[in-house]
Structure 1
Amino acid sequence: MSFYEVRPAEKRDAQAIVDVHAAATLAAYAGIVPEELLNAQPVAKRLQQWREAIEFGDPQVYLARADGKVVGFVAFDRSRDKGTKPTVGEVWAIHVLPEHWGKGAGLALWDAAREGLDVEGCTSVTVWIPLRNERALRFFDLAGFKRELNTARTTPFGDIRIEEMRLKRAVD
């Protein structure tokens, strides 16, 4: 049983989500992406994007709290990949503060996303993960996702390019 409270995000949670996103991204991508690229987007723009996502439910955003503090979030909705069926969902983002890695926050968030996708009628779910993010690959492997080897792509990230792979599993 998780000691994390998971609930839908509210507009007032946007700043906490921005803070978690920044801290988790810095830790997860250290040595993969130059730090100056990770912080390139202005905080005000990120804050506005998360407020709009929460307000319009595009994507749906849930957060995890422990001891009254936001420690992680997940964003999910229908797949953004061209040509996918409407029954395919996607985890758009999942981030947890580094001090909560390996303690169940990510699993609690994944469970909430899976339930939300099931309610939306999704039968499968995908996620795109950078190949060099071994922690994220391991997390999704343990959550039952399978790597789709023919989906590798290169995505621009500032001045560099990142190799990603899509992973997929059934929602139930």
Structure 2
Amino acid sequence: MSSYQVRPATVRDAKAIAEINATSSRAAYQGLVPDDQLGTLSIDKRQQFWRDAIEYMEPQVQVATDGDKVVGFVGFDRSRDKGTPSACGEIWAIYVDPAHWNQGVGVALWDAANDGLKEEGCTKVTVWVPVRNERALRFHEHAGFKREMASLKTVLVGTVKLEEIRLRRDVG
């Protein structure tokens, strides 16, 4: 049982979400994206994105807290992939402050997203993960996601091309 509380995000959480998004991205993408690009991640742009997401509920955003401090977040909604059935959801983003990695925050956030997707009538859920992000792949596979090998695609992150793979599992 997690000691972290998960709740719907409020607009006031946008700055903390943006900071976690940037800090966790820097840690997770170290060695995959050049340090000079990681150092330019804009908290202001991310804060505006997450403020809008929270306000318009696209995606739905939940935060994990440790006391009053936001330590992680998850954004989820219907899948953005073309041709996907309406009953397929997607984890758009799931990030945890690196100081709280391996402490159950990600599991608490995944459980909240799973419950939210179930409430929305989703029966399947997907997530896109860079192939070289072994930590994220392990997390999702531990949560029951399976790689869809035919889904491999190349995405541009800054000036770097990364291979991503879609993982899928049942909502339940």
TM range (shorter): over 0.9
**Amino acid in the other structure paired with 1:81:** D
Q: Distance in 1 between matches of 2:72 and 2:44?
A: 20
Q: Distance in 1 between matches of 2:145 and 2:21?
A: 23
**Amino acid in the other structure paired with 1:30:** Q
138-147 vs 45-54, greater mean Cα deviation: 45-54
Contact 2:117 2:171 in 1 (8 A): yes
SS in 1 for 2:25: helix
The residue correspondences of 1:24-39 to structure 2 (distance < 5 A) are 24-39=24-39
Show CA shifts across 1:38-86 (max 9, x none): 3445332221111000000000000000132110000000000000000
Q: Distance in 2 between matches of 1:95 and 1:41?
A: 15
Instruction: Tell me the CA shift for residue 11 of structure 1.
Output: 0.1
Show CA shifts across 1:108-165 (max 9, x none): 0000000000000000000000000000000000000000011000001111101000
Contact 2:79 2:126 in 1 (8 A): yes
Per the alignment, residue 45 of structure 2 pairs with: 45
**Amino acid in the other structure paired with 2:46:** R
Q: Does 1:82 align with 2:73?
A: no
Per the alignment, residue 109 of structure 1 pairs with: 109
Question: After TM superposition, where is structure 1 displaced by more than 3 Å over at least 4 residues in a row?
Answer: 39-42
Per the alignment, residue 67 of structure 2 pairs with: 67
Q: Distance in 1 between matches of 2:104 and 2:151?
A: 29
Per the alignment, residue 140 of structure 1 pairs with: 140
**Amino acid in the other structure paired with 2:32:** I
Q: Distance in 1 between matches of 2:127 and 2:36?
A: 25
**Amino acid in the other structure paired with 2:37:** L
Tell me the TM-score normalized by structure 1: 0.97
Question: How many residues matched?
Answer: 172
Segments of 5+ residues of structure 1 without an aligned counterpart are none
**Amino acid in the other structure paired with 2:47:** L
Per the alignment, residue 170 of structure 1 pairs with: 170
Contact 2:22 2:42 in 1 (8 A): no
Tell me the TM-score normalized by structure 2: 0.97
**Amino acid in the other structure paired with 1:87:** A
Contact 2:22 2:41 in 1 (8 A): no
CA RMSD of aligned residues (A): 1.0
SS in 2 for 1:109: helix
Q: Distance in 2 between matches of 1:39 and 1:57?
A: 29
